[in-house]
Amino acid sequence: MKIFAREFLWFTTAIILALPVAYLFIGYMSLTPAGNQSTIYEQTFEMELFMMGGIIGIIFTYIMRLFIWAITKIIIEE
């Protein structure tokens, strides 16, 4: 049960950290609509990019977790 709780905590942390990464991902794209208002296709594309940025944020959070785990294993063994 302790392992499940720890994994759930990391998953929640990854979701929380993924939101700012997704906003930064969209912000760096500097998307502007072709006309005065964006079309439904442009809005859909922007939402897909936001979700992709969130997924990238989750992946990088877990990669960061693996690096921290590896460093602590190396330090503890020495």
Q: Provide the token pair at 38.
A: 């964006």
The ranges assigned to domains in the chain are 2-77
Is residue 53 within a helix (H) or strand (E), and if so which, with residue range?
Answer: helix 40-77
Indicate the pTM of the whole model. 0.72
pLDDT, tens digit (0-9, with 9 covering 90-100), for 7-35: 888 889 888 888 888 888 888 888 777 77
| Residue 66 · residue 46 · CB < 8 Å | no
Q: How confident is the model at residue 71 (pLDDT cuts 50, 70, 90)?
A: very high
- The arithmetic mean of pLDDT across residues 56-75, rounded, is 89
Residue type, 1: M
